[in-house]
Chains A and B, each alone.
Chain A
């Protein structure tokens, strides 16, 4: 009896989580420009539209560039910080760890508004590169948490062993620390990348009037004319996220990463 109850519950949650996406997937293959479900006819042209329609393509390119660069910047901020905290005894420096986690913990509108007032005051409001910095700061939490976890997993005797064999600090970092931290670095980058790709409010409030990222484009399309392209983009996003997280799961220890991530946040 309980066995069936269990299955039913999994099915229920699974359905709740997937139903909107199933409907959107259905809508995305409509033959004509309608949001009907079940779809009328079958066509993959709305997927082609993402790449052929100049507006959608521009938004896609903008989003991918933003996500690639901001995730890289987030990792560049997180790596030396977490390395320093692991390498040195400097309890006061933990304040920077807290600063790195704060933007992600607070409601996003706060980071967004803070950056808006800042860029407006400094006169850079609307510059596309400000969104890169904004996202890097907003998502630096993710690589910071995965890297701290990675560093705490490195046995210090590895480092000591390398030193006894003649390696200096720099060589140890290159030959021992970096290879061991790499899976955590990659997953931190992946998390930041996927979330940046999907982020709306920070991008909207800092560069919303000059740069159209995909989420902004979808929102604008929601207001000013529905098109099945919104649906095909949505499915593309879910697919991308699933592929990236599957890769993280394949090459890393996903349950461990999540176990530590969530416990660090709470």
Chain B
């Protein structure tokens, strides 16, 4: 198949397993974000794709060809490093032209391509400047242009925006996504920032402890998290314990809830309900009853903390649908079955 495929890829550093038996396939032209907390193995995975680390086990295929043992410099990829790694002894133009120069491209060819790329990254005429004279965002763009100079098959970025301030980062996320769509290049970005992943990716790959926990579209990751880790890591959520009663129906805190189906044979499970899907009603009207413990009014949203049977459930609502509740008040919690996601144990 066309695209990048990882089969059973494992990487061990001594006794430590950084990446554990990972399968992943990235179709041609997609934008993938590897997302997870630090130490989850996402950077190691990216470095193995780049050939900067050798997998202990498993194979990496690119467009059907096994590239596991192909050295980095023969993989035809572009990579942006966390430190950017712009060569301090070369100018902006020379940095961008590096991959062309070492392949013996003529001066005219180099200049033509550099000009094209500088226009693409909105820095025309910057070719002769020293790298040290650029701002953070400009360096970022130069690093991207340099990696794209040879129109590589895969474009890899390791925490590319982490050095930028929040505002610039958000702008660059949009810019990077638009650039990728324009060029149609297979792109893999490592990040620990879920907003970044949600903004840019076609597919978000959530990793933890060297494993892929879930790989799906951003909206599916948010709406249908596969397990407790993903549900908790992406956005905020209510994790609620459910049991199966004697008749075989799912119950929450002793109340039977229609429509929730637990995996066959399971006696209990955790479900995830996003706070904005929790609706407050009059006591006795909802599935569960509880007591309001605290109301946080943030202006744009209102968070209501409800204590029900020893669990804390948070409901988020907009001022428009403002629930008229105060701390100490008894409320009912309505949960429609389609917002309750049963998580894998």
Question: Which residue numbers of A lie inside 8 Å of B, CB to CB?
Answer: 155, 157-158, 160-168, 171, 175-176, 179-180
Contacts and interface: CB of A to CB of B under 8 A. Distances in A.
A68 to B, nearest CB: 27
A158 B87 contact: yes
B102 A164 contact: no
Given A171-B102, A175-B102, A164 B87 contact: no
A157 B156 CA distance: 14
A252 to B, nearest CB: 14
A157 B103 contact: no
| A interface SS class | helix
B72 interface: yes
A164 B85 CA distance: 11
Interface of B: 50-52, 71-79, 81-83, 85, 87-89, 98-99, 101-103, 146-147, 149-150, 156
Given A155-B85, A158-B87, A180-B89, A164 B98 contact: no
Which 8 A-B pairs rank lowest in CB-CB distance, beginning with the nearest?
A165-B99, A161-B85, A157-B85, A164-B79, A163-B72, A179-B89, A157-B81, A163-B73
Contact of B83 (A155, A163, A164, A176): A155
A166 B150 contact: yes
A96 B31 CA distance: 49
Given A164-B147, A166-B73, 6 more contacts: A157-B81, A161-B146, A162-B98, A163-B72, A165-B102, A167-B73
Nearest to A158: B85
Nearest to A176: B87
Contacts of A180: 88-89
A180 B103 CA distance: 21
B70 to A, nearest CB: 12
B74 A165 contact: no
Nearest to A169: B73
A257 B51 CA distance: 35
Contacts of B51: 163
A177 to B, nearest CB: 11
A167 B102 contact: yes
A164 B78 contact: yes
Nearest to B77: A164
